[in-house]
Structure 1
Amino acid sequence: MDRDLQVDTDQLGRFSRALGSSLTSLAEARRALEHVRDDQVGTKELDEACDGFQRRWKYGAEQLGARISAVHRGVKLSHEGYAQVNKVIEAAFKAVDGHA
């Protein structure tokens, strides 16, 4: 059974960009919530619910952001490494073709 390693660097690059976009969206959502005060949303109950949500989810959102960031760094490094290997292999084949 043939077990060649194949990596779609274009797909890896798209995944890396999607992770980066997710981090941006998460940060924007957290910033938007930080600016909403409990007396600005509407009814007293809605104001309290929004303020409570922000208090409860701040830590979770920060942790999620940290984990997405770590995965993003790893995927980005993998993409860059595979792209560099592909360039070296391509250059090696060109060098062989040029000397044949």
Structure 2
Amino acid sequence: MAGVLSVDIEVLGKAVQALRTAEQVLSDAMKAMSTGSHPDIGTAELDNAADSFQTRWKYGIERIGESARVTAEGVSKCLEAYQATDTVFTEALEQIEASIGGSPSGAEERA
């Protein structure tokens, strides 16, 4: 027996936005820590620590950001497909309801 699939379109939309925000935050953080862009951050030790972090983690953080972007695109396409399916299904149910309920427009067409 097949299970019931339930998709909360609003939550799916929020997930897409959260992924896009994560990508932007990671990108902004790496730009802020790039060499020479943080001269007033504090002591020389803190500046050196930021440079070291940026150098060691640049590739990994870029990959995480890229993964967030790709995932956001994929989830966004799913969201669009669910929204389209929901619209078509709603329209089909309205047509069925109108034909069963004997809507005035349906009665005129038959007369």
TM interval, shorter chain, is 0.7 to 0.9
User: 1:71-90 residue pairs with structure 2 within 5 A?
Assistant: 71-90=71-90
User: 1:56-75 residue pairs with structure 2 within 5 A?
Assistant: 56-75=56-75
* SS of residue paired to 2:71: helix
Higher RCO (Cα < 8 Å, 6 or more apart): 1
Q: CA deviation at 1:41?
A: 3.8
Per the alignment, residue 15 of structure 1 pairs with: 15
User: 1:38-53 residue pairs with structure 2 within 5 A?
Assistant: 40-53=40-53
Where does structure 1 lack aligned partners over 5 or more consecutive residues? none
Q: RMSD across aligned C-alpha pairs, in angstroms? A: 1.6
Kindly provide the CA deviation profile for residues 12-33 of structure 1, in whole angstroms up to 9, marking residues without a partner as x.
Answer: 1111111111111111111211
Per the alignment, residue 98 of structure 2 pairs with: 98
Kindly provide the CA deviation profile for residues 67-91 of structure 1, in whole angstroms up to 9, marking residues without a partner as x.
Answer: 1111111111111111110000000
Contact 2:38 2:47 in 1 (8 A): no
Per the alignment, residue 105 of structure 2 pairs with: none
* SS of residue paired to 1:82: helix
Per the alignment, residue 26 of structure 2 pairs with: 26
The alignment's TM-score, normalised by the length of structure 1, stands at 0.85
Where does structure 2 lack aligned partners over 5 or more consecutive residues? 101-111
State which of 36, 39, 42 in structure 1 corresponds to 2:38: 36
Q: CA deviation at 1:45?
A: 2.6
Return the index of the structure with the highest Cα Rg.
Answer: 2
Report the count of equivalent residues.
98
The alignment's TM-score, normalised by the length of structure 2, stands at 0.78
Q: Give me the identity figure in percent.
A: 34
